[in-house]
Amino acid sequence: MSVTTSARRTAGAALAAALLTGTLAAPAAVAGTTDTAASTPVAATSTTATTSTTATTGTTATTGTTAATTVFADDFESGTVANWTRQRVDGNGSITAPAAPAGGSGLAARFSVPNDGASYRSEVAVNALGWGAYRFALADYLPADWVQTSTETIVAQWHGYPLSDGSDTKPPIALTVKDGNWRLKVHWLTGPTTVAEAVIPLGTVQFGHWNQWAFDITWSTDSTPGAITVYRDGVQVGAHSGLNNYHQNQAPYFKTGIYRANWNPAKGISYPTGGPDVVLYSDSVVVTRY
């Protein structure tokens, strides 16, 4: 890692420290099943104490009465994405780990998908980490020349598994960009193969800016409600309470990168091709279990 500290990595380090120091409140289950969205961002506040500020994989700290354990982390300083369980490129895109943009120091993951009529995915994934309560923190950067479009782009998602009839389905939780706006989409079952959806607006995208995200997720079960709280740059921007997955044998697994479903040639959806590649940078991924 470079000895030079950029504004992005300073913010990232502060967020990583906040995961265990309680600067952002630890995730907790929320009673009830009402879908909610924060209409006005509110500052995240601390409700816990801590005995450690370490944020390396496998480290355990005590935050109030809650033990917090970092179960996955990658800052891409290895120059690879080898820490991730899977890497997938559909079409002619790429996944690399070059120097971070925007004057940042060190390395970051770079995902690209060309608009060539054949490409639609460039992602990395880590296997399911189990049920319970987690904080997923990461930084991402959408370049200033990002082409705004009504074609939805998933940039982070928590994915499930085929349904009882063998059909694939939408990710239980997805962070998306559409028409220059951030959105969180949440899906759950209302029948064996019937999927319900909540769309939660998260604000306008600031292009050419490193976003510091934290997603507090308590997975719902057949007998308990779940909860999601979303922070961007230390400010709460959205929330959802109630069902938030398909209650399958395994918890959803985490992916980040670029996925444009409507560009999949198998869907037969026509769209204008040409123009610049879709590019996203990701960095400072830390997953903490509570």
Q: Smallest Cα–Cα separation from 215: which of 197, 193, 239?
A: 239
Q: How far is the C-alpha of 257 from the C-alpha of 154, rounded, in Å?
A: 8
Residue 41 has pLDDT above 70, yes or no: no
**pLDDT value of position 24:** 67
Q: Is residue 2 part of a domain?
A: no
Tell me the average pLDDT across 4-31: 52
Q: Strands 235-242 and 42-43, how do they pair?
A: antiparallel
Q: Is residue 179 part of a domain?
A: yes
Q: Is residue 248 part of a domain?
A: yes
User: How many distinct structural domains can be found in the chain?
Assistant: 1
Token readout for 221 is: 């079960």
Q: Is residue 244 part of a domain?
A: yes
Please write the tens of the pLDDT for every residue from 79-106.
Answer: 999 999 999 999 999 999 999 998 666 9
Q: How far is the C-alpha of 263 from the C-alpha of 267, rounded, in Å?
A: 8
Parent domain of 193: 7-47+59-289
Q: Is residue 40 part of a domain?
A: yes
> How far is CA 250 from each of CA 115, 159, 164, 262, rounded to the nearest angstrom?
34, 11, 14, 27
DSSP SS3 for 212: strand
Q: What is the mean pLDDT of the chain?
A: 84
Please write the tens of the pLDDT for every residue from 223-262.
Answer: 999 999 999 999 999 999 999 999 999 999 999 999 999 9
**pLDDT value of position 168:** 86
Please write the tens of the pLDDT for every residue from 167-193.
Answer: 888 999 999 999 999 999 999 999 999
Residue type, 221: T
Q: Is residue 53 part of a domain?
A: no
Instruction: Categorize the per-residue pLDDT at 13 as very low, low, confident or very high, splitting at 50, 70 and 90.
Output: low
User: At 183, which CATH number?
Assistant: 2.60.120.200
Contact between 51 and 269 under an 8 Å Cβ cutoff? The reply is no
**pLDDT value of position 169:** 87
> How far is CA 222 from each of CA 167, 170, 226, rounded to the nearest angstrom?
21, 19, 10
Q: Is residue 225 part of a domain?
A: yes
**pLDDT value of position 272:** 92
Q: How far is the C-alpha of 144 from the C-alpha of 247, rounded, in Å?
A: 39
Please write the tens of the pLDDT for every residue from 111-169.
Answer: 999 999 999 999 999 999 999 999 999 999 999 999 999 999 999 999 999 998 998 88
- DSSP state, 154? E
- Using alpha carbons only, how large is the chain's radius of gyration in Å? 18
Tell me the average pLDDT across 199-210: 97
Q: Is residue 249 part of a domain?
A: yes
Helix-strand-coil split of the chain, %, nearest 5: 5, 40, 50
pTM: 0.84
